[in-house]
Structure formats: C-alpha cells, structure tokens
C-alpha cells in the first residue's frame, strides 16, 4: 500500500485533503491515452480540521461520500497524499546489494533515525542515480518512512467512504510526478527546483534525473498569507480569499493600485514570499556547499494553493535571478477535458492531486 516513490494503473482518483477542503482529480486511461475526466475543489461543509490538524475523521468520511455522490464518481481506486512534515525523508548511502536485500535493510536504517521500531513504520525507498556507484560499493538511496499509527485513522476514514487506497505518496513528490508529465523537468543533464506552497508548509525540492535529490520543508504556507492580510486589514478570512487573486507582489517600476486596501493586502503578503525565496536561496547554497563546482538551476516551478497572488514568478526571478514559472498541471492533459481552470492560480491548486492521479500503481 505504501509506495511513496515508485512509478507503479491509471483509472484512479488523486485525492489531496487539505485544511481548506477536498482537492480531487479523476483520471482515465483508454488506448494509452490519459484523460482527466474531472477535477474538484470542494471546501469542507463541516469542521474537519482544527488548528491545521485533521481531527474529525467521521466528518471526513461524510465529506468524501458527499463529494463522490455530488459528482457521480464511480471510480474507487485512489492514491492519497501525506505532507512531507508527516513523513521521514532522508537521503542515505547503503551497500550496493540487490534490491530485495535493500528492502530488509531500509527499515533498519530508518529506525536508527526515528524513535520507532521497524514494526511501527511503513518504509519505502528509491535508488538514486542507479548507474553511479560511489567508493566503497555504496549507492545513494532516498528513504521514506511513515508511522503506521499516524496513518491508521486517516486511512480508515477514507476507506469508510468507499474508496480503496492503492498507495500513499508525499505531496511534494506527487507534484514532481506532475511536472514530469508536463515535461518541465525532463532534461536529464539539468537541475530543477520544485516549490510546493501548501496551506500549512512549503516544500523545496532539488530535482535531478526526475528525482528529488535534496528536500527542504519550512513551516510557511497559505495560512500565513491569509493571517497577514487579516492582521493588516482587520477583515474575515472569507473576504481575504476574495482579495488575494487581485493582490500582486510589487516589483521595481510597478504602479500602485488606486485601491488602498488592495495595496495594503499586497504589501502584507510580501514578507511570506520573501521568506520562501530566501529559503530557496539557502537550499541552493547548502546543496552546492560540498561541490567543487556549483550546480546551475535551470528552472524553478511553483505550485500549490499558495499560488494565490499575482507576480509570484516575477518576484522570485527578481530575487533569485533564476527562470521561474507558475506550474499549470493541466499541461499535456487530454483535450477531451471540457473545461479547464480559469487561471493559472486556480490550476496550481491541483499540482499534487494530478500527480497522485498520474501515479502508476501495481494491481
């Protein structure tokens, strides 16, 4: 069930559950043609999360049932996500031995870094740069471990809604899968960065050969953007969500809006994106710190619900001088999809769920 990294049937649901609601896509494959049949962003109708944590599992089950009924979704095979701050992720070196033997060693290695026994964890791993061997017959491995106890109630709530969870992926890794499908990170000799700005946190991943080789998570996300505007303007969250799409990060030469409230909102969110850009720069510097020659970054791709104000890509480029794009995960999807999101800001919300739906899972 726990298959964080391997590309394992189409015909499935990509389900991303956030503190704001259910983000879901339904994908079909017919005659080797991938078709996204539906995409759903449904705010919770009841209180499911409290203080950013999933608390009411019974309510989650009912919310999922209502969503499946409302949109008449018949597919039940589902891939779900876990935020990276709920999963242990570490790149380690292991002996260059057959993969079957690595499956035995990986849980043992994970238990060395966590206060959990092998029996309490679900562990997965991916060999990085399989053809590049280190001295001492070692290979680089990306190790992922998830507490069984942490996932149990979550999985039960989803299963009780009638969904069959085929695999769990890490949110930011699912976005990488979607980036690969959109052909934005596919030049093997180049290095890319994905930035997933979720509701509660932001994941920064350096990508080489289509795989994350360095991961950094910060406790900053859309919630901070919303809180800053609330504190600045003294308005309710519902009003903030209406203002954000009109707000823009100020750049040299940018004219102020005639709407002073909008200017204040724009000014209040700048510190959040400035913090994220600073963390990206620190990540690059740390990644290059043990290299004789620094690695050049080809592109930064930004996705997630935190893509909610204008000029983010231009702002990051101005700060980092690296080509930056807002990620549209609907790129390369079948034209049979009747209606796509109205803007890149609406599309970026599906960066994780589309990656989940694209994940191949063994039957």
Task: State whether residue 200 is helix, strand or coil.
Answer: coil
CB neighbours of residue 124 within 10 Å? 23
Phi–psi pair at 251, nearest 5 degrees: -120, 160
Q: How far is CA 108 from the centre of its chain?
A: 27
Question: Are 323 and 217 a contacting pair, CB within 8 Å?
Answer: no
Question: Are 204 and 316 a contacting pair, CB within 8 Å?
Answer: no
Question: Are 300 and 316 a contacting pair, CB within 8 Å?
Answer: yes
Please state the pTM of the whole predicted model: 0.88
Tell me what pLDDT residue 127 has.
Answer: 77
Tell me what pLDDT residue 129 has.
Answer: 62
Phi–psi pair at 73, nearest 5 degrees: -90, 125
Residues 6 or more apart whose CB falls under 8 angstroms from that of 76 comprise: 13, 162, 163, 164
Residue boundaries of the structural domains of the chain: 185-326
Each residue's pLDDT expressed in tens, for the chain with a length of 363 residues: 455 555 544 689 999 999 999 999 998 877 777 788 899 999 999 999 887 788 899 999 999 999 999 999 999 999 999 887 778 887 777 888 787 877 777 777 777 777 777 777 777 777 776 444 444 577 888 878 788 877 888 899 999 999 999 989 999 999 999 999 999 998 989 999 999 999 999 999 999 988 898 999 999 999 999 999 999 999 999 999 999 999 999 888 777 778 889 999 999 999 999 999 999 999 999 999 988 889 999 999 999 999 999 999 999 999 999 999 999 999 887 655 557 788 888 999 999 999 999 987 544
Alpha helices in 2-54 (DSSP H): none
Best CA proximity match to 175, nearest among 141, 215, 220, 146 = 215
Tell me what pLDDT residue 142 has.
Answer: 80
Best CA proximity match to 274, nearest among 228, 319, 215 = 319
| CATH class entry, domain 185-326 | alpha beta
* DSSP run (H or E) holding 157: helix 148-160
């Amino acid at each position: 069930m726990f298959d964080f990294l391997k590309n394992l049937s189409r015909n499935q649901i990509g389900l991303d559950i956030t503190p704001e609601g259910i983000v879901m896509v339904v994908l079909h494959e017919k005659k080797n043609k991938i078709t996204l049949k539906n995409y759903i962003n449904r705010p919770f109708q009841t209180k499911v999360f409290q203080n950013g944590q999933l608390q009411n599992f019974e309510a989650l089950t009912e919310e999922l049932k209502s969503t499946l009924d409302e949109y008449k979704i018949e597919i039940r095979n589902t891939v779900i996500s876990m935020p990276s701050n709920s999963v242990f992720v570490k790149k380690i070196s292991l002996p260059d031995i057959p993969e079957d033997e690595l499956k035995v060693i990986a849980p043992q290695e994970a238990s060395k870094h966590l206060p959990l026994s092998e029996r309490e964890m679900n562990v997965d791993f991916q060999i990085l740069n399989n053809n590049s061997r280190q001295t001492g017959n070692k290979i680089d491995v990306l190790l992922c471990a998830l507490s069984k106890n942490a996932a149990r109630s979550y999985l039960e709530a989803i299963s009780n809604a009638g969904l069959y969870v085929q695999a769990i992926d890490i949110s930011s890794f699912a976005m990488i899968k979607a980036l690969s499908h959109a052909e934005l990170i596919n030049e093997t000799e180049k290095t890319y960065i994905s930035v997933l700005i979720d509701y509660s946190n932001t994941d920064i991943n350096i990508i080489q050969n289509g795989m994350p080789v360095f991961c950094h998570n910060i406790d900053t996300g859309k919630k901070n953007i919303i809180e800053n505007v609330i504190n600045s303007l003294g308005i309710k969250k519902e009003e903030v969500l209406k203002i954000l799409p009109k707000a823009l990060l100020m750049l040299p030469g940018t004219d102020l809006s005639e709407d002073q409230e909008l200017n204040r909102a724009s000014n209040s969110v700048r510190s959040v994106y400035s913090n994220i850009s600073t963390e990206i720069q620190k990540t690059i510097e740390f990644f290059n710190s043990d290299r004789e020659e620094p690695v050049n970054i080809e592109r930064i791709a930004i996705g997630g619900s935190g893509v909610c104000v204008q000029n983010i890509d231009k702002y990051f480029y101005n700060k980092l001088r690296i080509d930056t794009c807002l990620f549209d995960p609907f790129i390369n999807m079948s034209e049979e999809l009747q209606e796509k999101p109205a803007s890149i800001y609406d599309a970026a919300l599906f960066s994780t769920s589309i990656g989940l739906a694209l994940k191949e899972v063994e039957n």
